[in-house]
């Protein structure tokens, strides 16, 4: 009953006019960003993060989270209609979603995608609500050695899942850690890497780094592909209703994908994208209509779209419980928490119950609002794909400059904005992970402070760490993540050599 009453209080907080406006603005902006190829949720959140500073913490964070959830919904639209993914987690949806469009079932695919996103999003919020308190009680046992091990685990796991080589991932991580060390060292009071530039004493702010890497860099990348998207299929409102057979086949993958995505969200890395591939492979393996996959199977839309929304909710758990971001989006959310003077972590639920339950209620409300909006406004959202990209680019740059400067009225932040934009563009060309840089930049201070405290705690005796079960568990998991792929590659190479010798 305490949980239900706390949730009711959270919904009560949403009735404030500013909260309702922020929620509605967030889901609409997120849906639009998801539909438009190229910008993505991280870029949109980075661009609009400064706008949240004008609101109180609960409302500002609610709008940011609503943008995140909305982009997960909207990303499927261009994938289904045009086979052009709006974001990375919608790539798998193109496999069967666009084939359904070619067969005249675009409306059914869009409807199943929206319903699956709602089901999975609601499941994820319910699991977040149920697991946060017990996990927070467990996370209180974390201290500097555990956080150090967790930082190393996150960096190394990300290097395995970011799609590039280990060397490329570590180079991106190194750049992020270098940026994080600029300015005043909070532990020693020393000034580092400022080159006698007074404005750098306070370090590099998160806003220009995020907006530059994912906002300005996307503008430069989009500028290479001028024009608009032609031949947009029409989707009448009456076509948005799946048949009974389609719904019967689509519902089980919604629940499986939502649950699978939630647990993928608990793992460092691009969980939304990875979970969609896992869901697609699972559905294809267990389906009775395996021959239809790749040709317009409804399960190939329902499962992956549910998985990416489940992962969105799952990724909130380590952020809220540990105060630790496991991907680029939650890194931006952590920046939003920090800028508003809020420290998520083991004591967040206990110390800030009003804010926690307001955010949970807001996530429920965002999922309901998105389901309602995605049906009547699907025509409006799809029409956005006809807008010439050049018109959007100037607006994006203007928003980026205004938002970055307004964050703390420092001109050097505008310099960092464009410097990070150029860096992000170059990183894409060199196939370096911008998410790895961003994550390393955000967790850099945590890594540095936990390393310093752990060294002092060990007092020259590293065996002390062997007596900490949580630390050792994380270390073993890290070793498995790094070592198992190397072992498998070695075995595969030995088999290849043996086969060649046999011939």
- Rounded CA separation 219/73 (Å): 22
Say how far residue 113 (Cα) sits from the centre of its chain: 19
Q: Is the dihedral of CA 296, 297, 299, 300 positive or negative?
A: negative
**Residue 447 burial class via C-beta count within 10 angstroms: exposed 0-12, middle 13-18, buried 19 and up:** buried
Question: Closest Cα partner for 88 from 29, 163, 146, 176?
Answer: 163
pLDDT tens digits in sequence order for the chain, 503 residues long: 477 777 788 788 778 888 888 888 888 887 777 666 556 666 667 767 777 777 777 788 888 888 877 877 766 776 777 665 556 566 677 777 878 877 777 778 888 888 888 888 888 888 888 887 787 777 677 778 888 887 888 777 766 655 567 788 888 888 988 888 888 776 677 788 888 777 788 788 777 887 788 778 877 877 776 544 445 556 555 666 777 888 888 888 889 988 888 887 876 656 676 677 778 878 888 888 777 887 778 888 888 888 888 888 888 888 888 777 777 777 778 877 877 778 787 778 777 888 888 888 888 888 888 888 776 666 666 666 666 667 767 777 776 787 677 667 778 888 888 998 899 899 988 888 887 787 788 778 878 888 888 888 777 777 777 778 888 888 888 888 777 766 766 666 666 655 655 55
Q: How many domains does the chain have?
A: 1
Q: 98 in a domain, yes or no?
A: yes
Q: 326 in a domain, yes or no?
A: yes
| 215 touches 43 (CB < 8 A) | yes
- Rounded CA separation 285/296 (Å): 16
* DSSP letter, residue 192: E
Say whether 376 sits in a helix, a strand or coil: coil
Question: Closest Cα partner for 84 from 148, 39, 47, 140?
Answer: 39
Q: 210 in a domain, yes or no?
A: yes
Q: Give the range of the structural domain holding residue 446, as residue numbers without chain letter.
A: 3-224+234-467
pLDDT per residue over 405-425, tens digit each? 766 777 888 888 899 889 989
Say how far residue 370 (Cα) sits from the centre of its chain: 18
Q: 487 in a domain, yes or no?
A: no
Q: 229 in a domain, yes or no?
A: no
Question: Closest Cα partner for 206 from 22, 51, 333?
Answer: 333
Q: 501 in a domain, yes or no?
A: no
- Rounded CA separation 320/124 (Å): 14
Query: What Å distances lie between residue 444 and 200, 220, 435, 448, 464, CA to CA?
Result: 17, 27, 14, 6, 24
pLDDT at 426: 92
Report the number of secondary-structure helices (H) and strands (E) in the chain: 22, 2
Q: 473 in a domain, yes or no?
A: no
How many CA atoms does the CB half-sphere of 253 hold within 13 Å?
35
pLDDT at 1: 45
pLDDT at 228: 47
Q: 476 in a domain, yes or no?
A: no
Say whether 234 sits in a helix, a strand or coil: coil
Query: What Å distances lie between residue 324 and 86, 104, 155, 187, 439, CA to CA?
Result: 27, 44, 12, 20, 10
| 254 touches 298 (CB < 8 A) | no
């Amino acid at each position: 009953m305490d949980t239900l009453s706390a949730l009711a209080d959270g919904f009560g907080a949403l009735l404030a006019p500013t909260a309702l406006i922020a929620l509605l603005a967030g889901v609409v902006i997120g849906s639009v960003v998801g539909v438009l190829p190229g910008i993505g949720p991280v870029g949109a959140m980075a661009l609009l993060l400064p706008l949240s500073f004008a609101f109180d913490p609960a409302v500002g964070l609610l709008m940011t989270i609503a943008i995140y959830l909305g982009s997960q919904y909207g990303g499927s639209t261009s994938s289904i209609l045009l086979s052009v993914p709006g974001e990375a987690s919608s790539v798998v949806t193109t496999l069967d979603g666009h084939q359904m469009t070619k067969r005249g079932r675009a409306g059914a695919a869009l409807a199943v995608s929206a319903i699956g996103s709602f089901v999975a999003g609601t499941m994820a919020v319910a699991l977040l609500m149920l697991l946060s308190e017990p996990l927070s009680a467990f996370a209180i046992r974390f201290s500097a050695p555990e956080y150090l091990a967790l930082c190393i685990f996150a960096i190394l796991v990300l290097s395995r899942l970011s799609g590039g080589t280990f060397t490329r991932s570590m180079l991106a991580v190194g750049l992020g850690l270098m940026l994080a060390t600029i300015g005043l060292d909070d532990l020693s009071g020393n000034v580092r890497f400022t080159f006698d530039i007074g404005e750098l004493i306070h370090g590099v702010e998160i806003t220009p780094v995020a907006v530059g890497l994912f906002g300005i860099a996307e503008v430069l990348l989009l500028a290479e592909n001028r024009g608009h998207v032609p031949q947009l299929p029409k989707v009448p409102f009456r076509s948005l209703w799946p048949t009974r057979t389609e719904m019967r086949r689509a519902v089980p993958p919604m629940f499986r994908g939502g649950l699978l995505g939630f647990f993928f969200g608990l793992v460092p890395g691009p969980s939304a994208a990875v979970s969609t591939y896992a869901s697609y492979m699972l559905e294809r393996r267990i389906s009775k209509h395996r021959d239809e996959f790749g040709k317009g199977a409804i399960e190939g839309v329902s499962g992956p779209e549910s998985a990416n929304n489940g992962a969105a909710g799952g990724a909130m758990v380590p952020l809220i419980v540990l105060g630790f971001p496991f991907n680029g989006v939650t890194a931006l959310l952590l920046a939003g928490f920090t800028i508003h003077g809020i420290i998520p972590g083991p004591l967040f639920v206990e110390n800030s119950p009003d804010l926690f339950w307001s955010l949970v209620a807001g996530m429920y409300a965002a999922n309901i609002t998105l389901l309602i909006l995605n049906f009547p406004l699907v025509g409006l959202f799809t029409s956005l794909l006809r807008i010439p990209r050049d018109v959007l680019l100037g607006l994006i740059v203007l928003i980026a400059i205004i938002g970055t400067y307004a964050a703390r009225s420092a001109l050097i932040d505008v310099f960092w904005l464009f410097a990070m934009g150029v860096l992000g563009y170059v990183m894409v060309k060199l196939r370096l992970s911008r998410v790895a840089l961003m994550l390393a930049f955000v967790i850099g201070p945590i890594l540095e402070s936990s390393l310093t405290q752990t060294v002092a705690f060990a007092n020259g005796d590293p065996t002390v760490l062997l007596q900490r079960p949580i630390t050792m568990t994380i270390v073993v998991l890290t070793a498995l993540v790094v070592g198992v792929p190397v072992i498998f590659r070695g075995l595969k190479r030995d088999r290849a050599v043996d086969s060649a010798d046999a011939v």
